[in-house]
Structure 1
């Protein structure tokens, strides 16, 4: 059975709403996209769409920037965190497969 995605993963929020939610300007949000810190989806017309997870990540990025952390350092930490989460997910999947545990 396929893995269900959370509502937090669905890319349905426009950049204007994200700007209101985070307090970041649309220009700053686009800048973080250019730096590969976030990955919005694009509609057929080219509009960016964000998820609630993207909003949370942008708020985390903004907090780090206020503390003086560079975008390069943020990218490194986010990549490190993503690798760790992927590894944990893989191990959990291997354990579940080994013991015949199925997700419902």
Structure 2
């Protein structure tokens, strides 16, 4: 599952491909970028590169505009979504840090530097 998300977040699609996939003009896509609704990566030549997640976002923006949403509402909606994603990422970082501590404690125990189970119990 993580590999799928990683692949979807790779910024490899040029503007022309995104235009074909979304049926939006380059001008519209750039405008959505100025409205902070999409944040494409840039390559060495400073050309925009989009991920599949960016394409999904552009399609959501297109649908939102078609249903009568304004840019301010969409920005607020995406800000909340970004905040939730950031919180989830932060909690994952904490769990990775916890895993490192557990591994360190186990390695110290195996090396005889710590009594059995003392380090593991305080982290559990």
Q: TM-score, normalised by structure 1?
A: 0.81
Could you say which structure has the higher helix fraction?
Answer: 2
**What TM-score, normalized by structure 2, do the two folds share?**
0.69
Max radius of gyration: which structure? 2
Q: What residue in structure 1 maps to residue 13 of structure 2? A: 13
Q: Which runs of 4+ in 1 moved over 6 A?
A: none
Partners of 1:56 and 1:66 lie apart in 2 by 15
Cα distance in 2 between the residues matched to 1:81 and 1:62: 17
Rounded Cα–Cα distance in structure 1 between residues aligned with 2:65 and 2:36: 15
In structure 1, stretches of 5+ residues that fail to align are none
What residue is the counterpart of 1:76 in the other structure? Answer: 76
Q: CA RMSD in A?
A: 2.3
> Which of 1 and 2 has higher RCO (CA within 8 Å, sep 6+)?
1
- Mark the runs of 5 or more structure 2 residues left unpaired by the alignment: 104-124
